[in-house]
Every structure is written in structure tokens, then in C-alpha cells.
Structure 1
Amino acid sequence: MRESRPDTVLIETPPSLWERAICVVIIAMMTGALIGPVFAPLQEETPVLRLVWLPAYAAIFGLVLFRIERLWRAWPAAIAVALLVGLTFASRYWSIDFETTSRRVIALAISGVFALYLGAVFRGPHLPRLLMHTALLMAVGSLVMVFAFPSIGVHQYDNAGLWRGLWYEKNQMGAVMVIGATASAACLASPDPRRLLPAIALGLSSILVLATQSKTSLLCLMIGLAFVGGFWSLRRGGPVFSVVAIWLAVVLAGTGLWVWETHSVAVLEALGKDPSLTGRTEIWDALMRKVADKPWTGYGYGAFWGRAGESVPADWVRKETQWPVPNAHNGWIDLLVQLGWPGAILVGTLMAATAVITVLRSMGQGVREGWWALGFLAAFFVLSLSESILLAHQGLPWVLFMAVLTRAILPSPAPSPVPLVEKRRGAYQTGSRIAAQYPHGPVRRPPFAV
């Protein structure tokens, strides 16, 4: 990355205001905020929910057409999306629920297109800033629901008294707020001088994660913030600090793995968690027996978890565990029951490749974005071990992962230094003064415009 002088910044043109406004709405919808609890309070699929998504799909295609010249450059990521959609489409032919699989493949394809758009258009710091703004709005909305409409914002029966904000479950709010907090921390770690909104968003998002009392969300929050803060500290601390910090990180990680391998039951009990992870281990054991029946095909994309009486293998799992299991509570096992080992291997390969490329480019693009991609990928992987977020047909974590993949593959933009401050006068440069210093071409907008 080309270093700028102290009185310059690196230019990256932000998307237009109307694009950002549309993306805020679509991202909020992909979290399931408010729409589900209002239109389907019993968490059932209804025609109303499908109709609500039609304007969003139209908006996505409009955005893609508007930015088609940028998406052409993202063809390697488009191939990855095509491979995933192609595998899920093929699963229709052995799916135990042909109609559901066909419908969700379409939704997955549209989500993939939106991910390509986000990754290709929102470069550098602009994607974490978009997520920060969205999370701030949803955090404020969640507080309104908690205090003004507690029947929606607070759990009433299971997990009574815990906050769930705009969502069905506290874990949903926890996952969304982790994404918002990581993005806010990245905005604070980036060269963007505006600190107030990111600081407020980070504080509110972190408070809402704590209010869910979700240990998984808290762990993801700590990991995401640790990655962002760690890389920020490494860059500012000098070579000696960097060596010591990396050594400590390796030692702590190794110690943590050893403690988990040898005393996992004691650790879980100390955290107030059931050693069976609230029955999750029983679910996983039962599901792996069903995976063994169809290891190379699975039961079809999105088809396994039908309602009671609609899915024979799911009913068998519910009978084995003695409770109405809604999903695997593990993204990888859910992939296995849907698409078999080919699906899990394909997703795992894409995740590994994305992580390697992102790390290799972290000292360039990572500086401008505040190392958001690294923090998000770490939290995303940990969350996938506890929640069914992988290859979700309408899920924000999966869409953001595909956007990170797109950003990792695309070449970095070639920004130009533009003076922000006129040293001898101590005043901000005006547009005419900046333009006068660059007579050979137009000056693009500053990179961090809201």
C-alpha cells in the first residue's frame, strides 16, 4: 500500500447516498429484524413473508444493473457463488422436499448476487461503515422494542426476561450486534477521523450482546474485537511490540486449546453452561447418524428441517432428543444433512481460501478498513460452530462472508493522496484549493463521506 503524507488521506469514492440507504434496508431485512415477529410470530413460513421480499429482490437487481461495470471484475467470486448455487440446485433431484429446495435455491442465488454487489461496490472502509450505521439503527430500534413493546422485545416464556429486540430469539440479536460491534470497532481503528457514531454504535451493540446473556455471542464479540484491536495495536506498536504481542497470542491460544481439550467440562460448568451445551451434543449425535445414511448427497438444500410430520428424518431426530429441534445449532452439521460432504468441503475450501487471502492483504486493504474483514471472519467461524448460518438462503452472516470473499479477490483500488489540512494556515482545504493542486485531472470525493 502506498503510504500517505501526514496531511493527506487515501481516496476511495463512497457509494451514493441513495445506494447506502437501500442497502441499509436490505441488510436489516436479512437479519430478520421485525418482519418475522410481526408477520409470522409463530416462526412459520407464510406467503406474506415471501411477498415482503419481492421489493427487496427488485431493489437488488436494480443496484446490480446500476453497478454492472464493477461486478464484471468480480467474476472469480461469481464463479464461487455459481458453484454453491449449482450444488444446491442439483440437490433438488434427491431432495425430500422438492418445492422447498427449489424456492430456497432462488433466494440463495439472489443473496449471492447481493453479496457480490456489496463486495464489489463497498470497498475499503465503506462496508464496515455501512454495517455500523445499520447496526446503530437496529440497536436503537431494539431498545425501543424492549422498553415500549416488551411483548416483542423481551422473551416471555423460554428465556423469560432476556432481551431479543427486533428478533425472534436472543441469539439472533446477539449475532447481529456482534457484527455491528466489530464493524464499529473497525471504523474506530480506520484512518477515518469521525469517531462519535462508531463509539456510540460500539457501546450500544456491546450492551445488547450482554443483555442477551448468550455465551456464544459474547465469545464472538470478544474474538472480533480482539482481532481488530490486535492488528491495530501491532501496526502502531513498532517491531518489538509486534514480536512480543504475537508471541503472547500464540502462547495464550495454545494454553486455551490445552485447557479446553483437558478440562472442557469444568470450563463449561464455570461459565454456567450445561456440559451437553443445552442438549446440543445430543442433537449432533442424532444428526450424524442421519448423515451416515446419506453422506454424499444429504437430504436436499433447506429440506431437512420441515415441520412436525413433514420430514421423516427430522421427526426421528426430534423423537431421539425428546424436544422439537428447529435446526442443528451447528452450521457444519446442517451442511452435512443438507448437501453431504461435498457441500461441507466446498464451503470449507472457500472459507480457508478467503481467510488466507485476507491475511495476506491485511497490511494493505486492512489498514483502510480497520481490519474489519479479519475480525468478521474470526467471529463468523466461531458462530458457525454454534449456529446454522452457513449457506443460509436469507442470512446476513453468510452474505457478508461472500462479500468478504469478493473483496479479497478483487484488486485494491488505486487511491490518490489529497491534502486535507493546509498546514501554514491551520484551516481545512476547500474544494477549489484542492482542485488547484491537481490540474491534470478531476479530484474524487474524500473517502469517508457519510
Structure 2
Amino acid sequence: MNNFLNQAEKAFVILSLSFFTGGIGVGGEGTNPSGLLPAFAITAIRYFIWVTSGLLLCVRWRNTLITASRDLLIWVLTAIVLASFLWSDYSAQTLFDSREIWQMTLFGLYMASRFSLKEQVKLVAWTLTIGAGLSLLFGIALPGIGKHGADHPGAWKGIYDYKNTLGSLMIIASLSLLLLPIGQRSDRWLKWGGLILAVALIFLSTSRTSLVISLLLLLMIGFYRKFRWQGRRTIVMLNLAGLALGCGVTFLVSNWVDLIVGLGRDPTLSGRTPMWAMTFNLWQERPWLGFGRGAFWADGSKYAFKVGQAIANNFIPPHGHNGFVDLALDVGIIGLGLFLLSFTIAYIRALHRAYESYHFADLFPLAYLTFLAMNNMTESYLIRITNIYWVLFIVVILSVKKGSQAGDRGQT
């Protein structure tokens, strides 16, 4: 009976993570998740995940409280986000959409409190490998769904809403598979078969940003595998921190023009630079607590209209193409500051965990946090709409303080 319940919970996690990726709404786009599945089915799954997560947290309430206490800052930030309808120009919509924050946060807390880091990595790997397999199937058998049309000819999006989404999710798939411990023969097939497929889909997505980030993260993991001796804490910590910082600085500053032009992009990142400049000017109207979650880019927002006019006539951007910018717009300097402080603390803990362990699964928090920071430089993947990125952030910051994997040295 216990084994059945354990397997049922793992199946629930895979279903939930698939929902957060948007893969269950295959054929849907953007903020409209329904595609092949009708809208009521998507809604039913949403509330099933929400209610089930809440019930399971209540059943294990002691463990829930212990896990939640590992990062109090994230709960202050969550409270501000949930309360942001009070100062939003679209208070009803902001309040209604707060269900997304509740759902992502509760599930993230459940996953962090229920499973070890090794189990988390394996569940993420299984979820995204299934998504990769279905993306390959749809790309070949149903290209009208699995590939973009005239907007991005030839680019794959698989079962997801956009090519960049496919690319970024396959980065997470690659990280989890590369760091997946091999315990059984099935794990070996999952690891290497899934990894090859994930890398192939990054190329098929034609997402140049995903390609650059995946290469930088691969260098970071390779560095760790070579210099992961216990005891040399200062050297390893400084080098890992320097590598992570170097990735961001090199990507954003040193090669700002040369790299982007070489990849076929203009130095203003397809209009993002003037958009960010106008956004910053407007943000100064409400710098401390922002405009409320999603209000700045809401349908009919005068702010979104002004930003769009700075780029092209009749263009209204759906978001700021930068997760940190959008977070500042939603909850201001206070909210952004809380996030950055929580992120920094978790990153330091992840560094400690990386150099204190022989198990490659213990590198996942460091790798994921590095990915999250880089990926949000040109895309908005934090608290905008329902997404897996915020869920995994919650999971990582609440799990990274746990003891490292017990037992024999991990295998790769």
C-alpha cells in the first residue's frame, strides 16, 4: 500500500510539472493555455493540483512547517505579490490571477517537503523527457502544432506554446538528465537517450539564447566535475562564483554587440533595449511597490501602449522580455529586493552544497539558479502567468539547505 501511494505521488508530481510547463495544453499559445484539451479540462487539472497539494501539505504539516521555515523571505515576497491587487489599476484581474501564485507556491512547497533532491532531479528529468518525446512526435507527425508557421518558419515548439519555451525547458531537461544518478538500467536509458533528445530539440527550436545558455552551463558543470575535491572550499567557491558571474557578464556586456550580431540578432535585442528604457521611465511613477502583478502589461493598459509606441506603431508588448524588469513592475523595489536577497542566500547555499558533496545531483540547485538568472535577462520567466520556472525556484530554495545525498558516491 505504501509503495502504491509513493508511486501515486510521483505520478501526481509528473502531471503537475507537465501542467506548469504548459505541455498539457498542447496546441495552446501564450496566455491561452487550452489547445487540444478543452478549457474546462485545463481548469479541472489546475484546481486538482491546487487542492491536492494543499491536502498533502496539511497531512504532513510538521514537515511542511520545517520546510517553509528554510526561507522566510520568499513568504514575505509571496504575501506582497498576493496583496498587490490592492494597488493595481486592474484589481479584479490581479486578484483573480493570484490563484496562479497560490498554486505554484503550494505545489513548490509540497515537492520540496516531500522529496529528496535526488528524487526531485529524477522527477524533473522524467517530466521533461516525456515532454521532449511528445514534442518530437508532434514535430514529425503534427507539424501544424509542433512547429511554428510564418512567424518563425521551421522553428520547433513541440507541445509548448513557443520556440523559446521549448528551448528553455530542454535546458532544464539537459541539466536534470546530466546530473541524474544512475541506479538502474532504466536510469541509464533515461539519462543518455533523454539528453540526446533534449539537446537536439534545443537546436530544432532555433532559440539562440537557449543554445548560448546551455553551452555556458555545460562549461560550468564540466568545471565542477574536474575540481570537485572536498576541503578546497575557498578555491572551488571562488571559481564557481567567478564562472557564474563571468557567464552573465560575458553574455550581457563583453559580447553585447559581437555575439548578438554574430548570431543574427541586432544589438538592441529585437527592440528590447528601447522597450526597457521606456519601461524604466514609466516604472518611476510607482517604484516602491510597483503596479500590481500583471497590471502594467494588462489588456488596455496605458503603460503597455506607451512602451509599444516606443518600438513600433500599433505594437503592444505582452511583457517586458526580462523577468527582473517585470518583477520590479509588479512589486517594485521592495519585491525585487526581497527576491534578489532570497536568490543570493540560496545561491550561496547551493555553492556550499556543490563543493561539500560527491553527488552530482547536489549540483542541480547551483545549475538551476544560474540558468534562472541568465534566462531571465531576455525573457520573462519568474512570476508571469503559471510557469514551471517559479515552481522550481521555490523547490530549490527550500531544498538546498537540506543535507546532501546520503549513501555511496553518486554515479553519472
Q: Fold-level match, TM-score > 0.5?
A: yes
2:296 match: secondary structure: coil
- Amino acid corresponding to residue 126 of structure 2 in structure 1: H
Q: Deviations over 1:121-166 (max 9, x none)?
A: 2213111111111111001100111111111100012112100001
User: CA distance change for structure 1 residues 256 and 82 in 2, over 3 Å: closer, same or farther?
Assistant: closer
Q: 1:108 Cα deviation (Å)?
A: 0.5
2:150 match: secondary structure: coil
The more displaced of 332-341 and 318-327 is 318-327
2:88 match: secondary structure: coil
- Equivalent residue, structure 1, for 2:364: 372
- Equivalent residue, structure 2, for 1:382: 374
Q: 1:168 Cα deviation (Å)?
A: 1.5
Within the candidate set 157, 172, 176, 2:169 is matched to 176
Q: 1:279 Cα deviation (Å)?
A: 1.1
The more displaced of 204-213 and 83-92 is 83-92
CA distance in 1, matches of 2:362, 2:308: 44
CA distance in 2, matches of 1:95, 1:245: 42
Contact 2:179 2:360 in 1 (8 A): no
Q: 1:267 Cα deviation (Å)?
A: 2.4
2:306 is aligned with 1:319 = no
User: CA distance change for structure 1 residues 80 and 103 in 2, over 3 Å: closer, same or farther?
Assistant: farther
The more displaced of 58-67 and 248-257 is 248-257
Question: Relative contact order, CA 8 A, sep 6+: which one is greater?
Answer: 1
- Equivalent residue, structure 2, for 1:361: 353
CA distance in 1, matches of 2:365, 2:347: 9
2:270 is aligned with 1:273 = no
CA distance in 1, matches of 2:348, 2:30: 41
- Equivalent residue, structure 1, for 2:386: 394
Q: 1:255 Cα deviation (Å)?
A: 10
Within the candidate set 104, 115, 123, 1:122 is matched to 115
Give me the TM-score of the superposition, normalised by structure 2.
Answer: 0.87
> For the aligned residues, what is the CA RMSD?
3.3
2:106 is aligned with 1:113 = yes
- Amino acid corresponding to residue 275 of structure 2 in structure 1: I
Contact 1:19 1:63 in 2 (8 A): no
Give me the TM-score of the superposition, normalised by structure 1.
Answer: 0.80
- Equivalent residue, structure 1, for 2:400: 408
Within the candidate set 118, 131, 143, 2:136 is matched to 143
Q: Deviations over 1:374-401 (max 9, x none)?
A: 1111111101111111234521111111
4+ long deviations beyond 6 Å: 190-193, 236-239, 242-249
User: CA distance change for structure 1 residues 411 and 142 in 2, over 3 Å: closer, same or farther?
Assistant: same
1:324-339 maps to which residues of 2 (within 5 A)? 324-339=316-331
- Amino acid corresponding to residue 94 of structure 1 in structure 2: W
- Equivalent residue, structure 1, for 2:57: 64
The more displaced of 99-108 and 69-78 is 69-78
Contact 1:88 1:339 in 2 (8 A): yes
- Equivalent residue, structure 2, for 1:16: 6
- Equivalent residue, structure 2, for 1:159: 152
User: CA distance change for structure 1 residues 91 and 283 in 2, over 3 Å: closer, same or farther?
Assistant: same
User: CA distance change for structure 1 residues 126 and 318 in 2, over 3 Å: closer, same or farther?
Assistant: same
- Amino acid corresponding to residue 270 of structure 2 in structure 1: T
1:293 match: secondary structure: coil
The more displaced of 124-133 and 361-370 is 361-370
CA distance in 2, matches of 1:111, 1:57: 8
User: CA distance change for structure 1 residues 255 and 126 in 2, over 3 Å: closer, same or farther?
Assistant: closer
- Equivalent residue, structure 1, for 2:336: 344
Q: 1:42 Cα deviation (Å)?
A: 7.2
- Equivalent residue, structure 2, for 1:9: none
Q: 1:76 Cα deviation (Å)?
A: 1.7
Q: Deviations over 1:212-266 (max 9, x none)?
A: 1112111222233333332222237998xx9799879959976994796455312
User: CA distance change for structure 1 residues 14 and 77 in 2, over 3 Å: closer, same or farther?
Assistant: farther
* Structure whose CA Rg is larger: 1
2:270 match: secondary structure: coil
Q: 1:274 Cα deviation (Å)?
A: 1.1
- Amino acid corresponding to residue 281 of structure 2 in structure 1: R
Give structure 2 stretches of 5+ with no counterpart.
none
Within the candidate set 220, 225, 231, 1:227 is matched to 220
Q: 1:100 Cα deviation (Å)?
A: 1.7
User: CA distance change for structure 1 residues 416 and 252 in 2, over 3 Å: closer, same or farther?
Assistant: closer
CA distance in 2, matches of 1:94, 1:317: 21
- Amino acid corresponding to residue 304 of structure 1 in structure 2: F
Sequence identity (%): 24
CA distance in 1, matches of 2:370, 2:287: 28
2:125 match: secondary structure: helix
- Amino acid corresponding to residue 122 of structure 2 in structure 1: R
User: CA distance change for structure 1 residues 263 and 417 in 2, over 3 Å: closer, same or farther?
Assistant: closer
Q: 1:417 Cα deviation (Å)?
A: 6.9
1:280-295 maps to which residues of 2 (within 5 A)? 280-295=272-287
Contact 1:391 1:398 in 2 (8 A): yes
- Amino acid corresponding to residue 63 of structure 1 in structure 2: L
1:16 match: secondary structure: helix
2:359 match: secondary structure: helix
- Equivalent residue, structure 2, for 1:429: none
- Equivalent residue, structure 2, for 1:442: none
CA distance in 1, matches of 2:253, 2:59: 51
